[in-house]
Amino acid sequence: MVTIGVISDTHIPARSDDIASEILSAFEKVDCIIHAGDIVEMRVIEELQQIAPVHAVAGNMDSDEIKSVLPGKMVIEIAGVRIGITHGAGSPIGIKKRILRLFKNDNVDCVVYGHTHTAEKNIINGVLMFNPGSAADKVYMSRQSFGMLFITEEKNIEAEIFTI
């Protein structure tokens, strides 16, 4: 089984000084990490890279520096499963449909996104839509959150949301 730590909307240092120790501890056991944007400072990615390889995209609140280094969209393949990653933009209303359109020609099994600060997992048209929520902000949810993706030997993908 492959385990992937999933994080988004860290907004460091604007909304938190550091990634919560509970998240860092949970990620010690992962094979890689996905960050779905709104990183704000590259030191977040550097810290996560000390734990495991990181796949990250830029978000709408990221600096020009981050946007020059990280793409707004990427597709990765891990253990035979195709995962699309983007931050998302605009209103939370209809965001999943807009994001699915972004990946319509990429044959993805899962899409990881952020932006809404609301953790959720849904299957839409056979695609797992996974938002880990915000690792630093409690504006839209009462607790900070992050996620894990699990890819089985049979190439099935499962998702779990954790709150702290």
Return the HEC string of 10-42. CCCCCCCCCCCHHHHHHHCCCCEEEECCCCCCC
Residue 139 pLDDT more than 70? no
Q: Report the alpha-carbon angle 60-63-66, nearest 5.
A: 95
Taking the C-alpha atoms of residue 71 and residue 65, their distance in angstroms, rounded to an integer, is 11
Of 96, 93, 53, which Cα lies nearest the Cα of 76?
A: 53
The predicted structure's pLDDT at residue 48: 96
Provide the CATH number for the domain around residue 140.
3.60.21.10
Express as a percent the part of the chain with pLDDT over 70: 94
Position 15 confidence tier, pLDDT thresholds 50, 70, 90? low
More confident residue, 146 or 11: 146
Query: What domain range includes position 87?
Result: 2-163
CB-based contact 4:30 (threshold 8 Å): yes
Taking the C-alpha atoms of residue 44 and residue 41, their distance in angstroms, rounded to an integer, is 6
| Total domains present in the chain | 1
Position 143 confidence tier, pLDDT thresholds 50, 70, 90? confident
Taking the C-alpha atoms of residue 1 and residue 35, their distance in angstroms, rounded to an integer, is 20
Q: Quick: pLDDT tens for 63-84.
A: 898 999 999 999 999 999 999 9
- The pLDDT of 125-154, averaged and rounded, is 88
Kindly report the number of other CB atoms within 10 A of residue 94's CB atom. 9
Handedness of CA 100, 53, 132, 110 (dihedral sign): positive
Residue 105: helix, strand or coil by DSSP?
Answer: coil
Q: What is the mean pLDDT of the chain?
A: 92
Q: Quick: pLDDT tens for 83-102.
A: 999 999 989 899 999 999 99
pTM across the whole model:
0.94
